[in-house]
Amino acid sequence: MMWRRGKILGKGGSAVVSPTRNNDLLLPSLMAIKSAPVNNSQLLYIERELFSQFEGCPHILRCFGDDVMIEDGEQWYNNLLEYAAGGSLADRIQSNGRGLPEIEVRRYTNSILLGLSYIHEGYVHCDIKPHNILLVEEKDDLSMDLNGKRRKRVQKVVQRLLT
């Protein structure tokens, strides 16, 4: 896989997130890469395992795999994630200033509840907040809903599993 890390988008206690451009035709050309030094990557590895269990839900961020690379002499473990071009729900609320239109609130609430329902079949997400709800815009993507029916989605809301 050939990809290069971009400018850091965010930094948490255990990992950094950067945009990634790649030339692998089997993957999106723009993704997010969540990285941690290999010697401190246990949570990131667990997150990858969780993502693999939620692959069928269109309301949860997609993970395209993992990778290990050497950068500046240090080994890094990386999760290759769907890029959330819309930022976080907190960003969206703040940019609007006067609250979100009701139609957006309904759409986000519906998607959040569907995603949480899927996660809560086996896990409890203990950090639900607008900063952990990511907005992914997809204009011409056909996907499956939770009932297995094809539908066209314009925007979906996804949750970060671990931060």
pLDDT digits (tens, 9 = 90+) for 26-62: 888 899 999 999 999 999 999 999 999 998 899 999 9
Within 8 A by CB and 6+ apart from 50, the residues are: 123, 161, 162
Same domain, 60 and 13: yes
Residue 145 pLDDT grade (very low, low, confident, very high; cuts 50, 70, 90): very low
Q: 66 has which bridge partners?
A: 79
Same domain, 11 and 63: yes
Last residue of a domain, one of 38, 67, 82: 82
Same domain, 130 and 99: yes
CB-based contact 34:81 (threshold 8 Å): yes
Mean pLDDT of 81-101: 90
Over residues 93-114, the pLDDT tens digits come to: 999 888 899 999 999 999 999 9
Let me know if 127 is a catalytic residue: yes
Same domain, 50 and 77: yes
Residue span of the structural domain in which 46 resides? 3-82
Continuous segment of H or E residues that includes residue 47 = helix 42-53
Same domain, 70 and 119: no
* C-alpha to C-alpha distance for 73 and 132, rounded to whole angstroms: 32
Last residue of a domain, one of 55, 82, 109: 82
Output the pLDDT for position 162: 41
DSSP 152: E
- Measured in whole angstroms, the distance separating CA 55 from the mean position of its chain's CA atoms is 12
DSSP state string for 52-118: HHTTT-TTS--EEEEEEEEETTEEEEEEEEE--TT-BHHHHHHHHSS---HHHHHHHHHHHHHHHHH
Output the pLDDT for position 81: 94
Mapped onto helix, strand or coil, the DSSP state of residue 42 is: helix
Same domain, 34 and 105: no
Same domain, 74 and 95: no
Same domain, 139 and 71: no
Same domain, 97 and 147: yes
Same domain, 61 and 95: no
Same domain, 75 and 21: yes
Q: What is the CATH number of the domain that holds 73?
A: 3.30.200.20
Same domain, 14 and 49: yes
Q: How many domains does the chain have?
A: 2
Which residue among 67, 127, 141, 145 is the active-site one?
127
Last residue of a domain, one of 82, 98, 124: 82
